[in-house]
Amino acid sequence: MIADQLAGNLIQGIILGGVYGMATMGLSLIFGVLRIVNVGHGAFIMVGAFVALWMFKSLGIIPLVAIPVAMVIGMALGLLFYYTVMKKILKAPEMATLLATFSLGVILEETMKQIFTSESWGYNWSLGKLDLGVTVLPYTKILAFGGSIIIALLLYMWFNKTRAGMAMRSVVEDDEGARVCGINVDWIYALSFSLGIGLTVTSGVLLTMFIPVGINPYMGGSYTLKAFVIAVLGGLSSPYGAFFGGLVFGLIENGTYTLFAIIPGAEPFALTRFFSFVMLLVILLVRPTGILKAK
């Protein structure tokens, strides 16, 4: 019985882990190019969740269609915040960028609170379920996982097949050398921040396809914490490492939850979060570069 439950939770974990990984790719991309740690990361995920909610509830548009809309909205927000805030403090001390991204997150949270109130929302979009014997997977979760893989593959192709992607990789390697070679480094910084925020907002749509309830202006906090664990797990500067780190984190999170649940008197949810941060500390001590180094 426990073995079946564990197997089912591991399957659920890898599906959720793919979405977690995609949700962390934007965080890793921004850090890899601009060396900015976006502590307001979860607030941008929240914006994507509300995009899916609003389009479904108000316009009757399914969340799949909300994915490209969220990407456009996210990239627009990224460009806006880059040119109004981030560009001015790129060379400032690290604390300045941390406070700036934290402030952006608070602004987004309070803005969404004024629009949607502080209540939790949800929507009901069902396409049926797939019975695997040890677990039952709604097709919406499978679509969210598939969407995460497709977006990760498209990002990989963009980095390796387009001039803009290769220019971005050059800036990561040596921004001064890239500037000498004629690359508009400032535009690459803006594009990187915009793309990173776009990916983050898009991940909010995918997360609601997996968990379509509990959508509220302050939902992003837990996702920010998980994103930092996943980013370090996969290599903080590597978007691809972040995706694979998400898969590993999903397996560990759901697997340990099952094991902690059989301990009498234990609180599985709290212990799972505790274990996640123990794992983070161990990785930092043993392999600070994470699973994959930045490329």
Tens of pLDDT, residue by residue over 218-274, are 999 889 988 988 888 887 778 888 898 899 888 888 888 777 877 877 787 778 878
Q: Which is nearest to 260 in space by CA: 247, 246, 274, 249?
A: 274
Q: What own/partner pairs with CB < 8 Å and gap ≥ 24 does 59-62 have?
A: 62/125
In sequence order, the β-bridge partners of residue 129 are: 138
CATH 1.10.3470 is the classification of domain 2-116+139-286: yes
CA angle 173, 32, 35 (to 5 degrees): 100
Task: Render pLDDT for 181-230 as a digit per residue (tens, 0 to 9).
Answer: 888 999 999 999 999 999 999 999 999 998 899 999 999 988 998 898 88
pLDDT confidence of residue 249: 87
Across the range 91-107, mean pLDDT stands at: 91
- Is the pLDDT confidence value at 293 over 60? no
CA distance 19 to 23: 6
- Measured CA to CA in angstroms, residue 258 lies from 7, 179, 269 at distances of 10, 52, 10
Token pair of 85 as six digits: 């805030």
Whether the Cβ atoms of residue 218 and residue 12 lie closer than 8 Å to each other? no
Q: Is the pLDDT of residue 91 over 90?
A: no
Look at the block and give the residue holding tokens 């094991």.
259
More confident of the two residues 259 and 85: 85
Angle at 146 between CA 145 and CA 148, to 5 degrees: 65
Kindly report, residue by residue over 27-84, the tens digit of the pLDDT: 999 998 988 999 999 999 999 999 999 999 999 999 999 999 999 999 999 999 999 9
Say yes or no to pLDDT of 157 above 60: yes
Give the span between the Cα atoms of 90 and 88, in whole angstroms.
6
Q: Please state the domain extents for the chain.
A: 2-116+139-286
Q: What is the pLDDT of residue 144?
A: 94
Mean pLDDT of all residues in 114-122: 92
Is there a contact between 269 and 257 (Cβ–Cβ < 8 Å)? yes
The pLDDT assigned to 295 comes to 47
Stated pTM of the model: 0.91
